[in-house]
Amino acid sequence: MGCAFGRRDSYRVEGKTGEELKFQRGPTTVIEPTKSYPYVNNNATVATMKPSQQQLKYLQQPPLVEIPVESLPAELLNTTDKKPADMHLDLPPSHPADKRLLDKIYGSMLGMAIGDALGAHVEFRPRAYLEQNPVQDLQGGGTWGLEAGQWTDDTSMALCLAASLIAKKGFDPYDQLVRYKWWWRKGYMSSTGKCFDIGNSTKAALDEFVKRQHQFAQEYHIQDFKELDLLPHDLSTKFDTKCSREDVDSNGSLMRLAPVPLFFCQATTPVHAIYYAGVSSEITHGGQKAVDACRFYASLLYAALNGTSKKEFMDRMFYDRCFQAGWYGDKPLHPDIVQIANGSYQEKNRSEIKAGAMAVQTLEAALWAFYNDNNSFHNGALKCVNLGDDTDTVAAIYGQLAGATYGEQQLHPQWLERVYAGNFIAEISKWLQYEGYQWKEKRREYAKKLKN
């Protein structure tokens, strides 16, 4: 299906063209956990999550083992002619699932979708308008003419990312781009069945991806485009998936981020969640600020999912302690992201917060709302939306962290009932937990083999 480029196409304006860099394939990492399941630790601290030098070393090496990609829900997740509300995934196989962790994973996914839906009908409205007409509940109509509870590109792309992690049983940037393309061209994972809202940077990256697909098909004599979208592992790893310019620093990768740390949160250190969060941005938003906004937010999500208190991971020294503990390897965050990590938002009032389309602005706005929400998702989500401008994205980013912190059971019950495709999001959440657990277990088994 086609995609109608409305005001979003002219709203998210990027900088000048930068030089393309060749993508270096992200590694398949191997870890050896030091704690037994369950992994939610309500007394978790930075010190207990410190990665070993061996774990950091694995992130610099090529893949060590090929993991089968067959997955029970893969066939359905590769279907492009059904809307999310019409899709149904069976329950994952039995495994030692922790209900508290599932509540946080589900809370993060639903929090993102609810925030997105809350802001959808007033997207691009200036703050002055929201001050006169404050949003107080889910509403339909407005910018996109959606029904109350339907969400936009933020949640659609996050579901594409989640579907890839589940179907491929791990991080596969080529498959992620394929699913983003399906969303753009076929309405895959859209709440309406069509792509009606796409950012400039995302569209440019997908245009580049399609161009490279055609070139790749000629080079490897692939005539069937369906076959091209479903490349086997040995071919997909040869594809250059870094389809963004170096100077693209808008918020389109941050808004969809949650599934990456949700999938990798059961690893005993956060290095995987943070590393792959950065790679997930590079394929469409390659600017260092956008990449590092994702890396930092992934560290917050990992901490929240593993039971670290809000007080601790919102502390001004959290980033410094995490960097010293090895969470970010030897690559510090961009200074603009460090400023936010060090608590710039804690010193600002509402009039000083900008809710624009750049990753730095959106990250600060979402954290400002989270810091000032009085531990209430309802309060924080409305604070985000009523900032105006990129209302849906700021609220969706807030919802990822607030949902992971407070859990699904603390979300507004009426919003839970009304959000579009809530049952499907619940099923996706269960599969993210299951496949994340399997990913961790396979690497623990492989680590044991290396020692023997």
Q: What gap in Å lies between CA 165 and CA 179, rounded to an integer? A: 11
Contact 165, 233 (CB under 8 A): no
Question: H/E element holding 205?
Answer: helix 200-219
Q: What gap in Å lies between CA 184 and CA 242, rounded to an integer? A: 18
Find out whether 172 is annotated in a ligand binding site.
no
Q: Is 60 exposed, middle or buried (0-12, 13-18, 19+ CB in 10 A)?
A: exposed
Q: What gap in Å lies between CA 191 and CA 53, rounded to an integer? A: 44
Question: H/E element holding 319?
Answer: helix 318-324
CB atoms within 10 A of CB 316: 12
Q: C-alpha angle with apex 213: 212 to 219, nearest 5 degrees?
A: 90
Q: Which residues fall within 8 angstroms of residue 300, CB to CB, at 6 or more apart?
A: 313, 401
Q: What gap in Å lies between CA 122 and CA 133, rounded to an integer? A: 10
Find out whether 153 is annotated in a ligand binding site.
yes
Q: Which residues fall within 8 angstroms of residue 231, CB to CB, at 6 or more apart?
A: 174, 239
Asked whether the CA dihedral 93, 96, 100, 104 is positive or negative, the reply is negative
Contact 302, 261 (CB under 8 A): yes
Q: Which residues fall within 8 angstroms of residue 137, CB to CB, at 6 or more apart?
A: 414
Structure tokens at 428: 């996706």
Can you name the residues that pair with 141 across neighbouring β-strands? 146
Structure tokens at 72: 């029970």
Find out whether 154 is annotated in a ligand binding site.
yes
State the distance between the two ends of the chain, measured CA to CA, in whole angstroms: 53
**What 8-state DSSP symbol labels residue 371?**
H
Asked whether the CA dihedral 193, 232, 154, 304 is positive or negative, the reply is positive
Q: What gap in Å lies between CA 79 and CA 322, rounded to an integer? A: 40
Find out whether 9 is annotated in a ligand binding site.
no
Q: What gap in Å lies between CA 198 and CA 78, rounded to an integer? A: 21
Closest listed residue to residue 322, CA positions, set 401, 344, 60, 314: 314
Q: Give the residue numbers of the binding site for Mg(2+).
A: 152-154, 390, 392-393
Binding-site annotation: residue ranges: 152-154, 390, 392-393
